[in-house]
Structures are given as structure tokens and as C-alpha cells.
Amino acid sequence: MTTERQLNYLFHDRINGILPPFLNLGKLGLNYGMQACQFTATSTTAECQTLAMPNYVHSIPNNNDNQDIVSMGTNTALLCKEVIENAYQVMAIQMIALAQATDCLAITDDLAPATRAIYNKVRDICPKFVEDTPFYEEIANVIEYLKK
């Protein structure tokens, strides 16, 4: 998932060369910034890779061995639904991270009006943070925002 790789870029100070590690605005070594969110995004992306395994590899002979491919359409649709939900979670983390990166760089006033409106909405859901905080409620709320 491209979004997860973009998060890795945002969180990795030695790669991006401009942002603090994990978008941490607190005391480095004491605060984790968005490190836990990256763990969530990475494990969710790994789950999507597993769910993307083609169903046709599960060929099961049936119908008196007359057919060797069982329709896996419903199973595939259910897996796809889960991948879509997972993608929302990773995208929500990215939205929070982009807002935090904007604050790290102090460039809020430079945002285009449409981008500023999105930034403001995300910040209404998840204010700028310095101290460590759990993000599960904010992630869930940003997911709901993205689905609207």
C-alpha cells in the first residue's frame, strides 16, 4: 500500500531530512510521536498483503470431481471488503500524520484553501500533540470523516 510507504517517509527523519523522527514534537527519547501509529499502519498493510492472496489457489474438486474450481466470488468479496476497511485505517493515520507534519514545519498558512479546509477538519478531530497519546479514537473519527 503506497500510503504506508509514504508514512514511512514522513516518519523517517534520515530519509526525509526535514521532519523530526515519527513527527515527534515532544522530547525525543521520552515521547514516541506517531511511532505506534506506524506500527499499526505497517501491520495493517501486512494483513492486506495476506488477504490479497488469490483465492483460485484454493481449488477444491467437487461435483463428483467434475469441477475443480469452486466459485470463490463471495469469499473474495468479503476479503476485499476487509482490505478496503484496512485501507481507511492506514489513510486515516496518514491524514493525522500530514497534519502533524504541517505543524512540524509551521506551514499551515501556506496551504491552499481546499487543503487548509481538510487540515482544519483533521485538526478538529485530532489536535496537534506534543505529549504521547493514544490515537485509536482519533483514527476511528478520521475514518468516519474519510467515509463521508
Between CA 45 and CA 65 the distance in angstroms is: 37
Q: Taking 90 as the threshold, does the pLDDT of residue 3 lie above it? A: yes
Neighbours of 52 (CB within 10 A): 10
Tens-digit pLDDT profile for residues 93-130: 999 999 999 999 999 999 999 999 999 999 999 999 99
Asked if residues 45 and 94 have their Cβ atoms less than 8 Å apart, the reply is: no
d(CA 115, CA 10): 18
Three cell numbers at 83? 482490505
Q: Which of 42-56, 59-73, 78-92 has the highest mean pLDDT?
A: 78-92
142 near 96, Cβ under 8 Å?
yes
Cα–Cα distance, 27 to 50 (Å, whole number): 37
Question: What is the mean pLDDT of the segment spanning 55-60?
Answer: 73
Question: Can you read off the three cell numbers belonging to residue 130?
Answer: 506534543
pLDDT at 80 over 80: yes
pTM: 0.90
Residue 50 has what pLDDT? 93
Q: Which three cell numbers stand for residue 106?
A: 509551521
In this predicted structure, what is the pLDDT of residue 89?
Answer: 98
If pLDDT is split at 50, 70 and 90, which confidence band does 81 have? very high
